[in-house]
A and B are shown apart, each in its own frame.
Chain A
Amino acid sequence: MSGQLTITQLEQKANDIREDIIRMLEAAGSGHSAGSLGLADIFAALYFNILNLDPKNPDWEDRDIMLLSNGHTIPVQYAAMAEAGYFDKEELLTLRKLGSRLQGHPERERLPGLENTSGPLGSGLSQASGYAYSLQYLDHIKHRFVYVVMGDGELDEGNIWEAAMFAGKYKLSQLIAIIDRNNIQIDGSTEDVMPLEDLRGKWEAFGWHVIEVDGHNIESVIDAASMARAITNRPSVIIAHTIPGKGVDFMEYDYKWHGIAPNSDQAKEALKKLRTLDGKITFEGAGVE
C-alpha cells in the first residue's frame, strides 16, 4: 500500500482497528477477543505498510498474498480490511450474523480480498507454501510475497511441521510466516498445554530464517518484514511476541478471553480505555461517558 503513513499514524490505525474489533465482537455476541486485539498492531503494519495490495481491486494480479491461518482471529483482518477500504465499516457489525459476508471464520468465496478459508487450525502454512511454490518455481515471479499469520497454539498441529519441512526443503524465499507468540491457548498457557520452546531453534532446524520482534512495535514489525523479503535462500518466520488482549487491560494476558466477546458494559469500558489510551489522555467528545 501507500507506505506513506508515519509510525504514529500506523499506531492510530491499530487503535482504530482495536475499537472496531470491540464493536464487532459486542454486536456479534460471540467471537475471539484476545488474539484479535493482540494482532492489531501487526495487521496495521500489514495492511498499511507491508502488503502490496489494492483494496479497490482485490484480485489485482501483482498483489501480495496474506493468508490467515488461525481463522478465529478474523475480526482483526475484517477490521483492517474495512479500514483499508475493502468494504464499508458499517458492514463490520454484521459479523457472525446470518447472510453476512463476514463469517465467524473466514470463507474466501464470501468476501473479495480473502485468500483462503480457515478455522480448523494448522493448514495455513501449507496453503501459503503452495502459493509461494507456484510463484518461485512455476510462474517465476519474484516481486510478489506470500505472508501467513499463525497463532502459536496452532503450532501443536502436525500439519504445520509438515509444511515447515516442505518450505525448508524447497527454500521458499518468498514465503514469510508471522507467528503471534502470545503464549495462550484455550486450555491455558502454551507452555503448560504443549510446550513450544525452543521455538526459534525448532524453526532454524527446519531451515528457516528466524526473526523475533515485539509484535506491538510497529516499526520493528515493518523492519522484520523488510529483512524477511531480503532473505533469498530460505523461508522466513517472524516470531512476534504479543500480549493477548493488548490495549484493554482487563483482557490482557488472560487466556479466558481467548474465545469470548465483551458484553455491552465490558465493551463500553474497553472502548473508553482505547480512546483515552488507557486514561493517559482525555478525549472530549469521544462518545464515551
Chain B
Amino acid sequence: MSYQIDHNALTNPKLEPIRAGFGRGLKAAGATNDKIVALCADLTESTQMHLFRDEFPDRFIEIGIAEQNLVTVASGLARAGKTPFVSSYAAFSPGRNWEQIRTTIALNNQPVKVIGSHAGVSVGPDGATHQMLEDIALMRVLPNMVVIVPGDSVEAEKATRAIAENGQPSYLRLAREKSPVFSTEESPFEIGTAYVLREGHDVSLLGTGAMSYQLLKAASLLAEMGVDAEVVHVPTVKPLDESVILASVRKTGRVVTAEEAQIKGGFGGAIAELLSEQLPTPLKRIGMQDRFGESGAPNELLDYFGLTAEKMIDNIAKFVRDTPQYHREY
C-alpha cells in the first residue's frame, strides 16, 4: 500500500512534524553529495538542521539572525559550486529577504534551497507575526523557482533529497506541529507531479501540504453523506502538474482547494489561474481568507479557521449540492 489512507489511518494516524522529515532528508542527502552545505539563521534545531550540522560540522555555517545575509551568502556559495540549503522560519525567510532571493538566487539562477519552516497558522501560540501565510504566493511568482509543500514528514524527506539534486532554485515549505503521516516509504514522489489519492466523481478536492490529509478524511466523511469526492495531493505548487489536475477536473466538474496559507496568490490562486485559462470550472478555495492568524493552540486554530476535515465537510457538501457539474464536454 503506497499510502496509509484506510479507516484506521484516518481516525488514528501516526503523527510527526513535517520538518522532521526535512532534517532526516538533508542528512541523508549530505551523505551522498559532498557539495551540499547548510546555513542557518540561529534556528538550527527548530528547523531540524542540527541533524546535518552534527553529522557534517565542516559543511554547516551559522549565519546568526541575519536572513538577508543568509540567502546572499548562499548565492555566493552556489557560484562556488556548492548546493546550499538555508533554513529559518518562513516568516523571516522568504518573508524578510524576498528581494535578495529574487535577485541573487532566482534571477541569478543559482541552486539555493530555501527552507521555510513553521509556516501556517498551526505554529500556534506565537501568533500572527510568526504564522507565515504569504510564502507560497511570494515564491511561486518567481521565475526559475520550484515550490514544494510536502504533505507529511515522509514526503518531506523525499522532497528534500529531490531538491538536493534538481540543480534549481527551490523553496520547501515546512510546518512546526506534528501532523498525520499518510504517505509511506513506497509512495512515489517526483517534483512537478500530483497524485490522485482517492478516486471519485462528484468533486475534485485538491490539497497541498498537510491539508491533503484533511481532504482525505473529509472525503471519507463526505462519502457517508452521499458525496463521491476525488482527492488529489499536489505537493509541487510550482511547476503545477497540469495534466493530472485537469484530468481530474474534467471528470468531476467541480473543484475545491485547501491550503494552510492565503488563498489569494497561494495554492488556491494557482489553481484558479490554471482553471480560468484552461478549463473554467466552479471553484471553492479553503484556506486563509485574506486575514492574518492569531494566538491559540494549533488544533484550535485549524478548527477556528475551518481547516479541519470536520469543518470542511459541510461547506464542501453544500458546494457540491448547489453547484452544477460543469462542462463535462467543455
Q: Which residues of A contact B (CB under 8 A)?
A: 65, 67, 107-109, 115-120, 122-123, 126-135, 137-139, 158-159, 162-163, 165-166
Alpha-carbon gap, A122 to B63, bound state (A): 17
- Contact across chains for A166 and B81 when beta carbons are under 8 A apart: no
**Interface majority SS on B: helix, strand, loop or mixed?**
helix
- Contact across chains for B109 and A109 when beta carbons are under 8 A apart: yes
Residue in A129, A137, A139 whose beta carbon sits within 8 Å of that of B73 in the complex: A129
- Contact across chains for A126 and B37 when beta carbons are under 8 A apart: no
Measured between beta carbons, the chain B residues less than 8 angstroms from A133 are: 61, 73, 76-77
Residue in A65, A130, A137, A162 whose beta carbon sits within 8 Å of that of B75 in the complex: A130
Alpha-carbon gap, A139 to B34, bound state (A): 11
- Contact across chains for B76 and A128 when beta carbons are under 8 A apart: yes
Measured between beta carbons, the chain A residues less than 8 angstroms from B37 are: 138
Binds A, one of B19-27, B64-72, B113-121, B238-246: B64-72
- Contact across chains for A127 and B73 when beta carbons are under 8 A apart: yes
B158 in the interface, Cβ–Cβ < 8 Å?
Answer: no
Of chain B, the residue at the smallest CB distance from A175 is B76
Alpha-carbon gap, A159 to B100, bound state (A): 9
Ranked 5 nearest A-B pairs via Cβ: A130-B76, A126-B72, A134-B80, A162-B69, A127-B76
B82 in the interface, Cβ–Cβ < 8 Å?
Answer: yes
Alpha-carbon gap, A116 to B73, bound state (A): 12
Alpha-carbon gap, A53 to B69, bound state (A): 27
B104 in the interface, Cβ–Cβ < 8 Å?
Answer: yes
Measured between beta carbons, the chain A residues less than 8 angstroms from B63 are: 166
Q: Closest Cβ of chain B: how far from A116's Cβ, in Å? A: 6
List 7 extra interface pairs beyond A123-B103, A162-B66, CB under 8 A: A107-B107, A108-B109, A109-B108, A130-B75, A134-B76, A166-B63, A166-B64
Alpha-carbon gap, A13 to B37, bound state (A): 41
**Interface majority SS on A: helix, strand, loop or mixed?**
helix
B328 in the interface, Cβ–Cβ < 8 Å?
Answer: no
Of chain B, the residue at the smallest CB distance from A141 is B80
Alpha-carbon gap, A202 to B99, bound state (A): 26
- Contact across chains for A130 and B107 when beta carbons are under 8 A apart: no
Q: Closest Cβ of chain B: how far from A168's Cβ, in Å? A: 12
- Contact across chains for B82 and A134 when beta carbons are under 8 A apart: yes
Q: Closest Cβ of chain B: how far from A106's Cβ, in Å? A: 10
Identify which of A109, A127, A129 gathers the most chain B CB atoms within 10 Å of its CB. Answer: A127
- Contact across chains for A163 and B73 when beta carbons are under 8 A apart: yes
Measured between beta carbons, the chain B residues less than 8 angstroms from A137 are: 58
Identify which of B61, B72, B74 gathers the most chain A CB atoms within 10 Å of its CB. Answer: B72
- Contact across chains for A159 and B73 when beta carbons are under 8 A apart: no
B321 in the interface, Cβ–Cβ < 8 Å?
Answer: no
- Contact across chains for A119 and B103 when beta carbons are under 8 A apart: yes
B264 in the interface, Cβ–Cβ < 8 Å?
Answer: no
- Contact across chains for B81 and A134 when beta carbons are under 8 A apart: yes
Which residues 77-103 in B have Cβ within 8 Å of A in the complex?
A: 77-82, 84, 99-100, 103
Q: Which residues of B contact A (CB under 8 A)?
A: 37, 58-59, 61, 63-64, 66, 68-69, 72-82, 84, 99-100, 103-104, 107-109
- Contact across chains for A138 and B73 when beta carbons are under 8 A apart: no
Q: Closest Cβ of chain A: how far from B207's Cβ, in Å? A: 35
Measured between beta carbons, the chain A residues less than 8 angstroms from B78 are: 130
Alpha-carbon gap, A109 to B73, bound state (A): 19
Measured between beta carbons, the chain A residues less than 8 angstroms from B103 are: 117-120, 123
Residue in A108, A120, A130, A165 whose beta carbon sits within 8 Å of that of B74 in the complex: A130
- Contact across chains for B104 and A127 when beta carbons are under 8 A apart: yes
Residue in B59, B81, B100 whose beta carbon sits within 8 Å of that of A123 in the complex: B100
Of chain B, the residue at the smallest CB distance from A108 is B108
Alpha-carbon gap, A123 to B73, bound state (A): 9
Given known A126-B68, A127-B73, A130-B73, contact A116–B108 (CB-CB < 8 A): yes
- Contact across chains for B104 and A134 when beta carbons are under 8 A apart: no
Measured between beta carbons, the chain B residues less than 8 angstroms from A159 are: 68-69, 72, 100
Measured between beta carbons, the chain A residues less than 8 angstroms from B68 are: 122-123, 126, 158-159, 162
Alpha-carbon gap, A166 to B82, bound state (A): 18
Residue in A120, A134, A138, A165 whose beta carbon sits within 8 Å of that of B64 in the complex: A165
Measured between beta carbons, the chain B residues less than 8 angstroms from A118 are: 103-104
Identify which of A116, A119, A132 gathers the most chain B CB atoms within 10 Å of its CB. Answer: A116
Alpha-carbon gap, A115 to B77, bound state (A): 12
Q: Closest Cβ of chain B: how far from A158's Cβ, in Å? A: 7
Q: Closest Cβ of chain A: how far from B139's Cβ, in Å? A: 17
Q: Closest Cβ of chain A: how far from B93's Cβ, in Å? A: 13
Q: Closest Cβ of chain B: how far from A107's Cβ, in Å? A: 7
Alpha-carbon gap, A89 to B212, bound state (A): 57
Alpha-carbon gap, A119 to B84, bound state (A): 23
Given known A118-B103, A123-B104, A137-B58, contact A166–B66 (CB-CB < 8 A): yes
- Contact across chains for B72 and A127 when beta carbons are under 8 A apart: yes
- Contact across chains for B80 and A139 when beta carbons are under 8 A apart: yes
Residue in A122, A127, A128, A165 whose beta carbon sits within 8 Å of that of B66 in the complex: A165
Alpha-carbon gap, A132 to B80, bound state (A): 9
Of chain A, the residue at the smallest CB distance from B61 is A133
Residue in A119, A130, A163, A166 whose beta carbon sits within 8 Å of that of B79 in the complex: A130
Of chain A, the residue at the smallest CB distance from B34 is A138
Alpha-carbon gap, A138 to B59, bound state (A): 7
Identify which of B58, B68, B81 gathers the most chain A CB atoms within 10 Å of its CB. Answer: B68
**10 A-B residue pairs with CB within 8 Å:** A116-B75, A122-B68, A126-B75, A130-B78, A131-B76, A131-B80, A159-B100, A163-B69, A165-B69, A166-B69
